[in-house]
Amino acid sequence: MAPRSQALRASALAAEQNAGAFGFHYSLDTKGHLVIVPAADGYLFVKSGDGKILFPRKQIAAAITTDIALPDAVNSVTITFTREESAAETKPTPRPESSGAVEGSDNLAIEVKIKSN
C-alpha cells in the first residue's frame, strides 16, 4: 500500500506545481491502476486500446485525484482531457512514460502502453 500512496502524493504534488496550467498528471506506477490528477477543471475520458470505455466523459475538478481500476487484459489506454464537454476529437499522442505531466491549450489526448503484447 505504501507505493500507491507515494504515487498519489507525487501525482498531487505535480498537479499543485502546475496549478493554473491546463493539463493533467497521469501515473500507471501502481499495477492495475491509472491515476489522474488534473491541473485545471475539465472533462476526462479514458478508454482502452480496444475501445472499451474505462471512464466515461465526466467533468472533474482541478487537483482531485481520480483512480481508475484497469482490467488485466488492457494493453494501452487513451486519456482525453478537454475544457469543453463536447470538444472535437483529438488524435492521441503516444507517450512512452508510465507517468508524466501533459499540458496544452484545450484538447489533450495521449495513448500510453501498459504492457507489451
Q: What pTM did the predictor assign?
A: 0.81
Identify the residue with better confidence: 102 or 14.
102
Contact present, 12 and 99 (Cβ < 8 Å): no
| Digit-coded pLDDT (tens) for 88-103 | 788 999 999 999 999 9
Q: What does the pLDDT look like over 61-84, one tens digit per residue?
A: 999 999 999 999 999 999 999 999
Q: For residue 70, give every residue at least 6 positions away whose Cβ sits within 8 Å of its Cβ, in sequence order, or none.
A: 28, 32, 33, 34, 48, 54, 77, 114
What per-residue confidence (pLDDT) applies to 106? Answer: 87
Confidence of residue 18 (pLDDT cuts 50, 70, 90): very low
34 lies in which domain range?
A: 2-113
Q: Is the pLDDT of residue 16 over 80?
A: no
- Tally of domains within the chain: 1
